[in-house]
Amino acid sequence: MNACDWFKSVAAGQRPAGSAFMPLLENLAPRVAGTTWPQMSADPTAWSSALGQVAQLLGSSALTLGWDDSLLAEACGVPLTWNWDRPQLGARAENFNAQAKSAGRLPALLETAQRLCQTARPERACVLAITGPATLARQVFATRPEKALLEQLKPVFVDVVEALCQGRPECLVFRECGESARSEVTPDLRRIYNTLKNIASYYGVMTALHLDGYADWQQDAARWAALKIDHLLLGADAAGKLPRPAACEDWQSLGWPLSATDAVASKARVEAAAGCLDKSGAAILYTTLPQEEHAIDALRGINAMLA
């Protein structure tokens, strides 16, 4: 099913008749475009062009942007180093930068988001992602997301979320990773999420939650359901394994990860999950893992299978 049609149907509160495939292609894009990740993520022209090229190559009906979980932390002042063309964050920010919207690679991300939202439709859905408040608090302050820390981060989130939503993407995804995905969802965390959901709603943008590095996806997802975000996307668990299918009653839609390197294994995973996921009543969106290397032949095979 075309991702644009899938997102339109789900945003309208309906359950699509079929599933859609939304591969997370930012890891693959620099290789296809003949550039590097540092060069691409610093230049809106290169970034938007590379994502367009890889989506065209694979016949993908979705453009995904912002799945690098170092972008927002870097802009807030966390030191960044590059290791084998991939960004790595330091332990914490020495000095918190409240003007994050104009720092690091974040301006390039925001400009790229505007360009993709203008050029993607009607062929492709545009899905944007940013680090969630609980995870960013741990990245910036190296501690759990307490009220005072979330209040410092709130103006940053308000500015960035509004800028991302102005292009009216199909969906804005908040990513909670690692220890944050396994931790308590406090009233303070719910309050900041309510503010961000209201901003997205004002622009008519659907919101989703992405959990990565969880302990048990059903238990952790049930806890995060307190945010009252209707759409859940899953990454890998804390051991790096793909989740096992099970009923999921708290979410209107569920993003289910497939292997981006093995089309045969992905086909078997889709067939094994189909009955169980159908029983949950949730609309199903198949994705890939943001940190995984992606193989072009495998992605083409998955795309053809799900089309």
Residues 6 or more apart from 78 whose CB is under 8 A from it?
Answer: 70, 89, 90, 92, 93, 139, 140
CATH of the domain at 101: 3.20.20.210
First to last CA, the chain: 5
pLDDT at residue 282, rounded to an integer: 86
Mean pLDDT of the chain: 94
Would the pLDDT of 275 be above 80?
Answer: no
Give yes or no for a contact between 256 and 288, defined as CB atoms under 8 angstroms apart: no
pLDDT in tens, 153-209: 999 999 999 999 999 999 999 999 999 999 999 999 999 999 999 999 999 999 999
What are the φ/ψ torsions at residue 86 (nearest 5 degrees)? -125, 145
The confidence band for 262, taking pLDDT boundaries of 50, 70 and 90, is very high
Q: How many Å separate Cα 179 from the centre of its chain? A: 17
pLDDT in tens, 66-95: 999 999 999 999 999 998 888 999 999 999
Tokens of 259: 């292997």
pLDDT in tens, 13-57: 888 888 899 999 999 999 999 999 999 999 999 999 999 999 999
The confidence band for 278, taking pLDDT boundaries of 50, 70 and 90, is low
Give yes or no for a contact between 298 and 263, defined as CB atoms under 8 angstroms apart: yes
pLDDT at residue 249, rounded to an integer: 79
Give yes or no for a contact between 30 and 99, defined as CB atoms under 8 angstroms apart: no
How many domains is the chain built from? 1
SS (H, E, C) the chain: CCHHHHHHHHHCCCCCCCCEEECCCCCCHHHHHCCCHHHHCCCHHHHHHHHHHHHHHHCCCEEEECCCCCHHHHHCCCCEEEECCEEEECCCCCCCCCCHHHCCCHHHHHHHHHHHHHHCCCCCEEEEEEECHHHHHHHHHCCCCCHHHHHHHHHHHHHHHHHHHCCCCCEEEEEEEHHHHHCCCCHHHHHHHHHHHHHHHHCCCEEEEEEECECCHHHHHHHHHHHCCCEEEECCECCCCCCCCCCCCCCCEEEEECCCCCHHHHHHHHHHHHHHHHHHCCEEEEECCCCCCCCHHHHHHHHHHHC
Which amino acid is present at 246?
A
Q: Region 58-70: what's the mean pLDDT?
A: 94
Among 132-136, 140-144, 161-165, 250-254, the range scoring the smallest mean pLDDT is 250-254
125 bridge partner residues: 62
Would the pLDDT of 247 be above 80?
Answer: no
Put simply, whether the predicted model's pTM sits higher than 0.85 gets the answer yes
In Å, the largest CA–CA distance within the chain is 50
pLDDT in tens, 94-126: 999 999 999 999 999 999 999 999 998 888 999
- Domain of 155, in residue numbers: 3-306
Query: 265, exposed or middle or buried, with CB in 10 Å at 0-12, 13-18, 19+?
Result: middle
Give yes or no for a contact between 65 and 129, defined as CB atoms under 8 angstroms apart: yes
pLDDT at residue 128, rounded to an integer: 98
